[in-house]
Amino acid sequence: MSKIVLGIAGAFVLMVAILVIAAIGSYNGLVNRSQAVDAQWAQVQNVYQRRADLIPNLVNTVSGAANFEKSTLTEITEARASVGKVQMNATAAPTDPAQLAQFEQAQGQLSSALSRLLVVVERYPDLKANGNFQMLQSQLEGTENRIAVERGRFNDAARDYNSAIKRIPAVFFAGAFGFKDKAYFQATPGAEKPPAVQFDFGGKPAPAKP
């Protein structure tokens, strides 16, 4: 009888050990995935900050053009200030979709203001030929592309993490250990299509490509 009891006890201990090992492995995996999301979030913040840092130089360069539309520069300055008012943790990816949506909206307004600026600049040949402006424009275009890339990578990392916390066995303890869903960037309508860039405002605008 004692051998049977010992066998059952041994089997129970073995089962518990297996569950503990599985839980530890799963926990460590979630930590790694969470850190990966946070690291990618830092990259997103970095490229957005890069764009914000370019704007004062851009505004100073453009404001030197004679009779340039001051309202356009005011719009950019105000949009940049609005971005700074949205407080986000730079080291931890957001878990509140509403907070991320507010951040994304502010960044989107700044993107729209910059796009309008580049359109207005087309009316100023001397400004377009300014070497400093050309350099800033190139840097901004590169930064915008980098933003799109880093946002996509962030969503991929967040999706991997969010799926992991819902799998067995992580789903049984993820919440208790503070593992919460990470928020995603939402694609804006038409974001899958590249924007039409027109450089000739002397004649009729070129028709948009379907």
Whole-model pTM above 0.85? Answer: no
Q: Is residue 207 part of a domain?
A: no
What's the CA gap between 185 and 34, in Å, rounded? 16
What's the CA gap between 140 and 149, in Å, rounded? 14
33 touches 158 (CB < 8 A): no
CATH number at residue 134: 1.20.1440.20
Q: What does residue 185 show for φ and ψ, rounded to 5 degrees?
A: -75, 140
The pLDDT of residue 63: 85
List, for residues 20-49, the tens digit of each pLDDT value: 776 787 888 999 999 999 999 999 999 999
What mean pLDDT do residues 191-207 have?
Answer: 40
182 touches 161 (CB < 8 A): yes
Higher pLDDT, 21 or 88: 88
**Residue whose C-alpha is closest to residue 56's, from 82, 77, 71:** 77
Domain span holding position 82 = 2-172
List, for residues 110-140, the tens digit of each pLDDT value: 999 999 998 888 888 888 888 989 999 999 9
Q: Is residue 46 part of a domain?
A: yes
Number of domains in the chain: 1
The pLDDT of residue 1: 56
Confidence band for 194, pLDDT divided at 50, 70 and 90: very low
